[in-house]
Amino acid sequence: MIFTVAIDGPAAAGKGTIGRAVAERFGFAHLDTGLLYRAVGAKVAEGADPVAACALTPGDLARGDLRSAEAGQAASRVAAVPEVRAALLDFQRRFARREGGAVLDGRDIGTVICPEAEVKLYVTASAEVRAGRRWQELGGEAAPLPYATVLAEVVERDARDMGRADAPLRPAVDALILDTSALSIDEAVARAVAAVRARRG
């Protein structure tokens, strides 16, 4: 069975959490495509050529620093490079149409990578809520950055992701918009699961 769930949305909206939960619920494979760009960004920050950095190994994807705020900013920068997006395109498309079903979350899954996906979700939340989540992930009051700085970084990244010329972040025309600003994790996952279940019959 080939069945693709495409989940897009801005940083810290909850798409990764929802993607993992949906994949587990239905026994689908899961790919956090942002991790690919974080790994490329980390290699570029260390001096690698952006396109050459797209030759990723399992070790590149297992780095312990890929969830840092710095890696997120680096990912957003390299994702704006058309050659990087092209180099990672085929890998993502093959993963999406694998036998057994797949869930991919990222910025352009439903619009560019998998426009034929059986289910498309656009997971979003207000910039203030997303910044608060990211700040809490970083340690809250003990975080190395004040909330205002995290909010500014979220707004900056949104502008870069939505304003890039190649595959800008936006919902697919047939995507279900899932605003998690006032939803619990369980509520958001339940809505996503319901959408997949409805499409599968």
Q: List the binding residues for ATP.
A: 9-17
Amino acid present at 77: R
| Annotated binding-site residue numbers | 9-17
Alpha-carbon distance of 7 to 13, in angstroms, equals: 11
Alpha-carbon distance of 11 to 178, in angstroms, equals: 14
Close Cβ partners of 151 (under 8 Å, ≥ 6 residues apart): 127, 128, 131
> Is residue 17 within 8 Å of residue 130, measured between CB atoms?
no
Over its C-alpha atoms, the chain yields an Rg (Å, rounded) of: 16
Burial class of residue 146 in the structure, from the number of CB atoms within 10 Å of its CB (0-12 exposed, 13-18 middle, 19+ buried): exposed
